[in-house]
Chain A
C-alpha cells in the first residue's frame, strides 16, 4: 500500500468522533501532565493504560490517547521551565537556558509562544518523515553500532564545551560530578555494584527524575527563598508579543533542530533529553554571537523543537519494527501486548487501522496542541501573578508528590532533597548544573557502548574508528572543539583562555 493512500485510511480512523475526542483529551491531558514537575510522560502513559481497559476502548483509540499524552507532554513542560526556571523533565532542561532570561525580561508569553511553535514544527516534521520513511529509517537506526554511539557521545561531550562560557574549569568539575553520579548502581558489563554503599535503593542507580527535580526545582527554590529573605526576587512584566519576524528568524534553528531531534529520537537509547541538549549546543556553536543564554529566541526554539521531534521519532522503531527506542515507547509496546497486538514488522500490514490511525492522529494532535496552546500563553504567563510564597512551595510540593507517586519510596525524596541541597551549594560557588545533568545522561550511553564496542573487538581500540558513520562523527567532534579557535583566527587574533 502506498503511503499516501494508507495515510488516508488512517485519517478515516483518526477522524471518527470518538478518536478525535480521545486525541484531544490525550493532548490536553499531556499538556497538563507535562506542566507538572516530577510526573513525566512515561508514568502518565503507564498510569492511564489501565483506564483504557476499564473504558473498553478499542486498541487504536487507546493508542491515540496514549500517544497524544506522550507528545502532548512535550508542549506542557515548558511552562515551568520558561517562567520559573524549573524544568520538570530531563528533556526540558535546555529550555530554561534562554527561556528564563526571556521571561525575566518580561517576554514570558512570547517565549511560550515560540516554544509552542517550535514544538509544532518539530512534532509535525517528525510525523511527516515517519509517514513516508518509517521502515527504512528504523532499519538505518539499527545499523548504528556501539562504535557509532561512542563517537556520537564524544561529539555530545565536545559540544558540552560550548556551555563553558569563560569558566571551563567549573564546567569540567560539573561534568565530573555528573559522571560520578552516573556510576552509582549495578554495572551492566560485570554485574558489580558501584558506589551503592550496601544500599538496596541505590542498586538501580540514581533516578533521572529525582536528579532533575533536586538539581533544578529544589535548588531554585532554595535560591529564591534566600532572595525572599534578602528581598530580591525578580518579577516579570508584560513584554512585547512574538512577532512574525522573530518566527522567521528562528526558522533555520528549528529546521536544524528537527533534523538533530529526529535522528537522535529514531536511534534506540538516545531520547529527548540528549536530543534537546545536542540541538541547543550545536545551535550555539553555529549561530551564537554572545546572545545565547541571555534570552536568544533561537536558543529556546532549538531545544523545544528537538525535544518534540525526538519524542515523535522514538515511536518510529516501535511502530516499524516493534523495537522500543525509549522508556515511554517501551510502555506503549506493553499496551500493544495487552491488546494482544503483536508489535513488529507486520503491524502495518496486519493491523493497518492501528498503525495508520495512530500516525494520522499525530498530525491532528499536533495541530490541536498548537491551537490549544497559542491562545493560552498569556494565561500561562499570568501564573507569575501568583505570589511567590504560594507558587514556589506549591511547585515544590507537586514535585515531591510526583517523585513519590512514581517510586512509592521515601528514600527517593531524601535523595531528591540531598541533591537539591548539594546543587544549591554548587550554584553558590558558581558551578553550572546543566553540564552536570547532561554528563549524567551521556555517561551511561557512553560507557555502555564503549564497553560493548570493546567486547566486540576483544579490547582493540581500532573498532572505535571502524565505520564511516563513526569517522564522520569523530571529525564533527574535532570540529566542535576547534571551532572557537578557527573563528578567532579568522578575526585575526589568538583566543584568550576565557573564550575557550
Chain B
C-alpha cells in the first residue's frame, strides 16, 4: 500500500521533480549575430538578469555565432549540439521570416524546441516631422493612387521583416507589394538618417529604435503595428488596427532549445523563463531596453512560432519571394 502511494505521488510529481532535478552545467546562451546586435543584447540582458535574480545559479556565458539572421546557429545546433541541455539560443521574428523563405537550409520550424518569449518590440511607421502624410490613411491613399510615389526605406533587404511591414500595409490597401519603391539600407540607423535627411518618405522601423527621435520631435509616427496602443512615449500614436488596417507586427524576442534537449532541461528552461517574466526586476530592465511585455512560454510559444512561420511562408509565396 505504501509503495503504491509512493509510486502514485512519484508519477504526479515527476514533471515538477524533473525540472527541479535538472541544474545546468556551464550554461550558455547563443546569440546568432555579431556582438552588439539585437540577439546579442537579448542574450546578454537575459543572462545578466537570470543570474542577478538568482533564477540561474551558474553564470551564463554568451557565445556569438553570427550568420544569416540565425541560420548558422540553427544549423550548428542541429549538427553538433542536438541534445545539449545547457544551451539556449536567441530567436526573433526576423529568424522566422527567413526560416519561412527557406534561408535556414534544409531545416524548418519543427526542428527545434521553442522555449518562450521574454518580450517584444513592435513595428511602427515613421515619417519626418514635416511630412505630407498625417495618418496611415494618407499613406494608403497615396499608395493606391501611385505606389511609386512613396519612397520606403529601411534597414533590411527585400523580403526581410522591415520590408514585410510596409508590404502588409500595401496588401491591406489592395496594392501589389511588389510595386513598392523600397530602398534597402545597412541597418535601421542609416535608414532613420535617410528619413531625417529627406531622402525617403516612410520608415517602417521598430519602436525601440525610433524612440529617441520621436521624443526629440524629429519624426512623427503614423501607426504602431500592435494590438493595443503602446505605453509611454507611444501612447498618443494610434495603432494600424484603430485606423482600419489590421496589420500587426510584434518583433518577438525569445529562445529555443536544441531538438533533442531532454524533457528535464526543457521543463527547467521554460520554468525559469516564466519566473523571469513575472519578476518585477526583469520587467524594469525589459522596459529600459525598449521592449514591451510579451509573456508566452512553452507550448503556447511553440504553437505561435509555428503559426508565424507558416503565415510568413504563405505571404512570401504570395508576393513571389519563395516557392
Contact = CB atoms under 8 A, between A and B. Distances in A.
A191 B158 contact: yes
Nearest to A146: B199
Contacts of B63: 408
B103 A203 contact: yes
A48 B212 CA distance: 25
B289 A321 contact: no
Interface residues of A, number: 55
Contacts of B37: 334
Interface in A303-345: 317, 321-324, 327, 330-331, 333-334, 337-338, 340, 342-345
Given A203-B67, A334-B36, A322 B212 contact: yes
Nearest to A142: B197
Interface stretch (A157-165, A255-263, A451-459, A481-489): A451-459
A330 B215 contact: no
B190 A200 contact: no
A345 B71 contact: no
Interface residues of B, number: 57
A324 B187 contact: yes
Interface string B106-126: 000000000000000000000
B158 to A, nearest CB: 4
Contact of B40 (A46, A204, A342): A46
A238 B218 CA distance: 58
Nearest to A334: B36
A101 to B, nearest CB: 35
Interface stretch (A12-20, A181-189, A286-294): A181-189
Interface string A34-49: 0000000011011101
B151 A338 contact: no
A455 B182 CA distance: 7
Contacts of B57: none
A393 interface: no
B157 A191 contact: yes
B160 A191 contact: yes
B181 A455 contact: yes
Contact of B288 (A42, A144, A322, A340): A340
Given A268-B193, A340-B288, A346 B215 contact: yes
B131 to A, nearest CB: 15
Contact of A323 (B34, B40, B48, B189): B189
A323 B190 contact: yes
B164 to A, nearest CB: 11
Contact of B193 (A50, A187, A321, A331): A321
B183 to A, nearest CB: 5
Contacts of A189: 157-158, 184
A203 B159 contact: no
In the complex, which of the residues A47, A323, A406, A456 has the most CB atoms of chain B within 10 Å of its own CB atom?
A323
B234 to A, nearest CB: 13
A409 B192 CA distance: 32
In the complex, which of the residues A143, A317, A344 has the most CB atoms of chain B within 10 Å of its own CB atom?
A344
A204 B73 CA distance: 13
Contacts of A345: 212-213, 216, 218
Given A53-B48, A189-B158, A338-B41, A203 B218 contact: no
Contacts of A53: 48
A269 interface: yes
B158 A190 contact: yes
Given A323-B190, A334-B37, A337-B289, 11 more contacts: A142-B197, A189-B184, A201-B67, A330-B189, A342-B212, A344-B211, A345-B218, A406-B35, A409-B67, A451-B184, A452-B199
Interface of A: 42-43, 45-47, 49-50, 53, 141-146, 186-191, 200-201, 203-204, 268-269, 317, 321-324, 327, 330-331, 333-334, 337-338, 340, 342-347, 406-409, 448, 451-452, 455-456, 458
17 contacts: A46-B35, A49-B35, A50-B48, A146-B199, A189-B158, A191-B321, A200-B104, A201-B67, A334-B41, A338-B44, A338-B289, A340-B289, A344-B211, A406-B34, A407-B66, A452-B185, A455-B181
